[in-house]
A and B are shown apart, each in its own frame.
Chain A
Amino acid sequence: MLEIQQLTGGYGTVPVLKNVSFTIPDGTITGLIGLNGAGKSTTIKHIIGLLRPLKGTITVAGHTLADDPEAYRQALAYVPETPVLYPELTLKEHLELTIMAYALEPKAAWERANEMLVRFRLDNKLDWFPDNFSKGMKQKVMIVAAFMTEAKLFIIDEPFTGLDPLAVHDLLDLVQAKKAAGASVLMSTHILATAQQYADRFVLLKDGQVRADGDLAQLKREFGLADASLDDIYLAMTAEGSQA
């Protein structure tokens, strides 16, 4: 469960986000949609705690970063847009580090990890430095590391670029399994067809503000487009600015 209330923030003192509020209930997948520069990455940076809000609060599973940073971080897993790896650690050590840092129970965590490693065909590369992998394989390492935690909230930034179609499919399976287990997932993406198919709800960002949020039916009503796809709604939203 993620709750953002009247978040205003950005880099330095210039606000990129203005009064952003939305909620992601437990057991749902939410797509974070918007043009380049609309504020998706900035929103994510605020949620994971890399940026401090100028105003407003962010609550993850009942904790804020100010009152209990360790519980807040424990409840959160993040897959970045570009893979970031430790050049001096092997694949196995990356997963060991995750187990340590999140104080996971090693046996159960390794079981979860091994299943994913086999699925992503990484199980024979445990002793390699993933820093030398291809972009898609690095992305898979990030996914395994994030999904082996017991987080309540998963933040996935542009997950589909660089992954092969099979891996995209596997990732969506993982996301749905986490949803079924009661976690909430926030995905920022430009692949609207996939988002429409898999996400329960959407947050449409425009110029640092929430233009609309809700499930597809609510969005259709909001934009007055009866049998539109997410794609049509997206185009309608971008057209609004140019008319005004």
Chain B
Amino acid sequence: MRRLWRQRLRQHAKAQFKYLQLVFNDHFVLVLVILLGALLYGYSQVLKTMTATWWLGPALALILVALLALGRLATLTMPADATFLLPKSAEFSRYLFKARRYSLLLPVILLVFATIAALPLLPILKLGALSAVLPLGVALLALKDSDLWVQLLAFYPQRVPRWCRRWLLLIVAYLALLAGFWWHPALTMCVALVIDLGLRWRLNEWLAPAELAWLPMIDAEARRMSRIYRFYNLFTDVPGLSGGVKRRRYLDGFAHLVAKGQKRTWLWLMVRGFLRRTEFIGLYVRLVVIGAVVIALVDQWWLAALLAALFTYMIGFQLLPLYQVHDEIVFTYLYPLAVTQKPQAFKRLLGVLLLLAAGGLACGALISGHWLVAGSALVAGIIVAIAVAWWYLPTRLAKLAVR
């Protein structure tokens, strides 16, 4: 079992490394560094003006619970395991213990950073910064440890009591954090340690006689991996994941904005591709919303302009593959349409989408009430939108045509 785990981990690490290399390519790292800088700067500005209000404690607790919920148990199991490893069910718990320990790694790093980030907020909550931050950190780690035990126990459903559920743990964690911010995080730490040690104490009792539920475990792992791959798919092509389609009837209104007619055949088709293929509209909306939120946190006009430009460029870049999604369909070559219609239609669609995105990004600044910031973000977004659709795109399509 130990060999199997090591082998799986090596395979997994190799595959992930390949994708991470693609995700963190040069221009994305640049964007990340700037984003991180903007976030830290924004946070420090917010901190300066922050006073103790009633919602600060509950909000901080909510954020910490959300971070706590991140990080599933990575079992690295495969569909064939249910057949080939079935005779080894009894020994498999040792494999799962290893998997659980590995799954702790990333959440622990994340929670340590979260604790450090929460440090300057503690004095505002009238808690001693240093005396409160240590118990808070310990509490979060103990809660994550319990969370992963609960996730593991979910694969042995027979003897595990009904109350041993993940959502219940997260609610308890929220209440404990809330109480901790009210009195002192030492209280949270006590609750967390009681839960964690209690779980570990009863563990063998529940695990020893129970049967491993193979299929739910494999399903859970498949879902976890597909979430990860969908994330990678935001940045690069993940083979076998790209071709999803959803009907999205509620978006038909947008699809009907393009009137029918031979001259608009490509535009008509591409709008539907954009709205219904899984890889475009979700990403577009997400990037606009994230960008708007980031811009809302910024109050320097030049920083907002820079961010708006970056986000518009990124969105444009992510939409480029839409031009090629119909290449496999032989009919697109047979229609009696002018060859110039396709690039023109795409230019128009991309231009409109990017201008809308620029507007959406500027709205972020508007919500936080900065007219100047909103204006500069809008102008920067529009300039990039025009540059991408009317200048960058034609040169890129010309390159494609040569190939």
Choose among B277, B331, B333 the residue with the greatest number of A CB atoms under 10 Å from its CB.
B331
Chain A contacts of B86 at CB under 8 A? Answer: none
Contacts of A48 in B (CB 8 A): 330, 333-334
Q: In the complex the two chains form, what is the Cα distance from A129 to B65 in whole Å? A: 41
Nearest neighbor of A89 in chain B, beta-carbon distance: B272
Determine if A78 is an interface residue (Cβ-Cβ < 8 Å). yes
Tell which of A50, A76, A96 touches B330, judged by Cβ atoms closer than 8 Å: A50
CB proximity of B66 to chain A, nearest CB, Å: 34
Closest residue of B by beta carbon distance from A100: B265
Beyond A49-B334, A101-B336, A102-B336, is A86–B265 a contact (Cβ under 8 Å)?
Answer: no
Question: A72: nearest residue on chain B (CB-CB)?
Answer: B336
CA distance A22 to B144 in the complex (A): 76
Whether A88 lies near B245 (C-beta < 8 A) is yes
A103 at the binding interface (Cβ < 8 Å): yes
Docked Cα-Cα span, A99 to B333, in Å, equals 16
Interface positions, chain B 341-358, Cβ under 8 Å from A, are none
Given contacts A84-B328, A89-B272, A129-B247, whether A102 and B335 have CB atoms under 8 Å apart is yes
Q: Which residues from 161 to 216 on chain B have a C-beta closer than 8 Å to any C-beta of chain A?
A: none
* B100 interface contact, C-beta 8 A: no
Q: Is A26 an interface residue (CB 8 A)?
A: no
> Would you call B333 and A49 a contact (CB within 8 A)?
yes
Cβ proximity bits B238-264 to A, threshold 8 Å, 1 near / 0 not? 000001010100000000000011101
Chain B residues within 8 Å of A101, by CB: 262, 265, 331, 335-337
Q: Are B245 and A78 in contact (CB under 8 A)?
A: no
Is the Cβ of A131 less than 8 Å from the Cβ of B336? no
A80 within 8 A of B: yes
Chain B contact-residue range equals: 20 to 34
> Which B-chain residue is minimally distant from A145 (CB atoms)?
B331
Within 8 A of B (CB), among A87-107: 87-90, 93, 96-97, 99-103, 106
Nearest-CB distance from B281 to chain A (Å)? Answer: 11
How far does the Cβ of B257 sit from chain A's closest Cβ, in whole Å?
15
Query: A74: CB under 8 A from chain B?
Result: yes
Question: B159 interface residue, CB < 8 Å from A?
Answer: no
Contacts of A78 in B (CB 8 A): 330-331, 334
B262:A100 contact, CB within 8 angstroms: yes
- B268-288 vs A, Cβ < 8 Å mask (1 yes, 0 no): 110011011100000000000
Cα–Cα, bound, A89→B245 (Å): 9
Shortest distance between the CB of B326 and any CB in chain A (Å)? 7
Contact A100 B333 (CB under 8 A): no
A71 interfacial contact with B, CB 8 Å = yes
The chain B residue with its CB closest to the CB of A96 is B260
Minimum CB–CB distance for B338 against chain A, Å: 7
The CA-CA distance from A73 to B335 in the complex, in Å, is: 6
For B245, list chain A residues within 8 Å (CB).
Answer: 87-88, 129, 131
Query: Taking the complex as formed, is A111 at the interface, i.e. its CB lies under 8 A from any CB of chain B?
Result: no
In Å, the complex CA distance between A131 and B276 comes to: 13
A70 contacts B by Cβ under 8 Å:
yes
Complex CA distance for A71 and B275, rounded to whole angstroms: 32
Distance, CA A97 to CA B336, complexed state (A):
12
Query: Does B336 contact A88, Cβ atoms closer than 8 Å?
Result: no
Within 8 A of A (CB), among B266-319: 268-269, 272-273, 275-277
22 contacts between A and B (CB under 8 A): A48-B330, A50-B333, A69-B339, A70-B336, A72-B336, A76-B334, A84-B328, A84-B329, A84-B330, A86-B273, A86-B326, A87-B245, A87-B277, A88-B245, A88-B276, A96-B260, A97-B265, A97-B268, A100-B268, A101-B331, A101-B335, A106-B260
Q: Which residues of B are in contact with A by a Cβ distance under 8 Å?
A: 243, 245, 247, 260-262, 264-265, 268-269, 272-273, 275-277, 326, 328-331, 333-339
Binding site for B on A (CB under 8 A): 48-50, 69-74, 76, 78, 80, 84-90, 93, 96-97, 99-103, 106, 129, 131
Q: A48-B334, A88-B277 are in contact. List 18 more A-B contacts (CB 8 A).
A: A69-B339, A70-B336, A78-B330, A78-B334, A85-B329, A87-B243, A87-B277, A88-B275, A88-B276, A89-B269, A89-B272, A90-B247, A97-B269, A100-B260, A100-B262, A100-B265, A101-B331, A129-B247
